[in-house]
Amino acid sequence: MRNVLTIAGKELRSYFVSPVAYVIVAFWLVATGFFFWFAVNSNDASLRNVFGVIIVLLLLISPALTMRLLAEESRTGTLELLLTAPVQDWAVVLGKFLGALGLYATMIGLTLFYPILLVLLGGNPDWGPIWSGYLGLLLLGMSFLAIGIFASALTSNQMVSAVIAFVLLLVLFIIGQVSSFLGEGVSGFLSKLALSDRFDSFPRGVIDLKDVIFYLSFTAVMLFITVQVVEARRYRA
């Protein structure tokens, strides 16, 4: 576990070596700030509409956060060195995932400033749906990041990784709507894979254990598949 935390810490610090992280965080805060402002002017005390729009923003943010995790190291050759070191493949994948998750958790934590500011200005937000909405954002973000790191393991090109991640996320995002046009059996199966559909209950203040388990299981499965891809690279190294 020490190796995992070491890799996670190194990955988190590496985000701030280049201006990429600062640009992403700035874009995130400006965009979410606008959404919160719009919700306040719409008298949405639960901020439900804010969370609904933020998950669309995550479609763009997640590939940007994960595109370099394995792809860049593969391009520079440092991934092969890491894989031939006495570090288990799952530790590499999990460490890099936790590094990205740490940055993402910080990003959504910073947005708490907006509802707190609303209170300071005399507003009365409904904190129940807000807290459950943030939990939903964290779980959904974990799933998105897991898909992103899987895409990053498939290629040595960051932009290709970002495109693959975005396409996969977009498919899983809209699959619930598309499934309604298919047969009943296929529709029922595909709707269970729709990441966005399971998020809907969280901003309403409803935390369904089945949805929590789904997101955690989906994340674990994607990380497991990524480990298999990384293991294949080890044998070629």
Whether the CB-CB separation of 93 and 223 falls below 8 Å is answered with: yes
Please tell me the distance from the alpha carbon of residue 179 to that of residue 60, in angstroms, as a whole number. Answer: 23
Nearest CA to 93 among 150, 43, 177, 10? 150
Q: What per-residue confidence (pLDDT) applies to 224?
A: 95
pLDDT tens figures, 107-145: 999 988 888 887 787 777 778 888 999 999 999 999 999
Summary mean pLDDT of the chain = 82
Q: Of the ranges 69-83, 113-127, 161-175, 212-226, which one carries the lowest mean pLDDT score?
A: 69-83
The C-alpha angle with vertex 83 and arms to 81 and 89, in degrees rounded to 5, equals 160
Q: pTM for the whole thing?
A: 0.88
Residue 101 pLDDT class (50, 70, 90 cuts): very high
Share of the chain above pLDDT 90, in %: 28
Q: What per-residue confidence (pLDDT) applies to 201?
A: 86
Q: Of the ranges 52-56, 83-87, 119-123, which one carries the lowest mean pLDDT score?
A: 83-87
Q: Domain limits of the chain?
A: 2-236
Q: What per-residue confidence (pLDDT) applies to 134?
A: 92
Q: What is the mean pLDDT of residues 162-183?
A: 77
> From the CB of residue 131, how many other CB atoms can be counted at a distance below 10 Å?
15
pLDDT tens figures, 183-225: 555 555 566 677 777 888 898 888 889 999 999 999 999 999 9
Residue type, 81: L
Q: What per-residue confidence (pLDDT) applies to 181?
A: 56
Angle of helix 48-66 relative to helix 127-153, nearest 10 degrees?
20
